[in-house]
């Protein structure tokens, strides 16, 4: 089976290219399940019910989160009722929402999805290594053999360490948060595919998705500046993972960086 993971969706531009690209990519690559990080889908920070519905309607099966998942307060109104939305599993017990979920892919395979957040240079949460083991055990008991983790973390070392520690236990560990796609995709010896960061889906004519003039002003002056998403050079970043649905072992992982021009050609 083939899974598509989409890197951090930023604002309306990110949502627009997702709406255009997901079904085109499904036809071109034969994807049976689509997972996307959506914590920045609402104007560059947070997620609303309307945003989530728009992303699901585009063909995404599961939305993952991260440190910005609570930036739009209205998420608290629906996160407990939406099994297709997960937030980091290493938030303390009692936090609204869920850290993992199962979904049936289009080929009938049950897939488990876990969201975790790193602790280096981010909020100090519970141990993501312990949370990973807990959620993997629960998903395996529920019958999921294919399990993908979105590890929302700042440092490459923490992401790579978790990937090695979980090698052979999950299908893939895909990093998010930095909005910059890395070039270190590989399948580890135990059958776990990993990529330090999937990149960003949205406008690439700014600074990690935001209008570049505002970001430059912030760096130059140190003064508070309101950030808005940039608008041009739309790209969808992510990864394609092929896996054996019976064993859950990854067979391959491929980075993708899809531009509007590429979509024009594929749709022609």
Kindly list the catalytic residues. 68
Main-chain dihedrals φ then ψ at residue 218, nearest 5 degrees: -65, -45
Q: Between the CA of residue 173 and those of 105, 112, 168, what are the distances in Å?
A: 18, 12, 11
Q: Between the CA of residue 147 and those of 45, 125, 199, what are the distances in Å?
A: 27, 22, 20
Q: Between the CA of residue 106 and those of 4, 30, 53, 113, 259, what are the distances in Å?
A: 12, 10, 19, 15, 26
Residues 129 and 268: their CA atoms lie apart, in Å, by: 46
Residues 169 and 268: their CA atoms lie apart, in Å, by: 41
Quote the tokens at residue 255.
């980075």
Q: Are 248 and 145 in contact, with CB atoms under 8 Å apart?
A: yes
């Amino acid at each position: 089976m083939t899974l598509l993971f989409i890197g951090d969706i930023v604002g309306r531009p990110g949502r627009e290219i997702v709406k255009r690209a997901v079904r085109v990519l499904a036809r071109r690559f034969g994807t049976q399940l689509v997972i996307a990080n959506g914590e920045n889908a609402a104007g560059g920070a947070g997620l609303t019910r309307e945003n989530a519905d728009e992303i699901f309607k585009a063909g995404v099966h599961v939305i993952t989160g991260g440190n910005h998942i609570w930036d739009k307060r209205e998420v608290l109104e629906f996160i407990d009722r939406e099994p297709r939305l997960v937030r980091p599993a290493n938030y303390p017990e009692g936090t609204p929402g869920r850290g993992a979920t199962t979904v049936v892919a289009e080929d009938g395979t049950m897939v488990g999805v876990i969201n975790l957040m790193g602790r280096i240079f981010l909020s100090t949460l519970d141990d993501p290594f312990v949370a990973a083991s807990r959620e993997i055990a629960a998903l395996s008991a529920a019958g999921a053999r294919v399990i993908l983790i979105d590890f929302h973390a700042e440092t490459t070392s923490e992401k790579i360490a978790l990937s090695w520690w979980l090698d052979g236990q999950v299908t893939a560990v895909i990093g998010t948060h930095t909005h910059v796609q890395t070039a270190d995709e590989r399948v580890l010896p135990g059958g776990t595919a990993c990529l330090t960061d999937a990149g960003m889906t949205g406008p690439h004519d700014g600074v990690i998705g935001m209008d570049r003039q505002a970001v430059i002003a912030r760096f130059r002056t140190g003064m508070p500046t309101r950030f808005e998403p940039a608008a041009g050079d739309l790209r969808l970043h992510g990864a394609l993972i092929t896996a054996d649905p019976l064993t859950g072992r990854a067979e391959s992982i491929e980075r993708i960086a899809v531009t509007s021009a590429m979509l024009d050609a594929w749709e022609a």
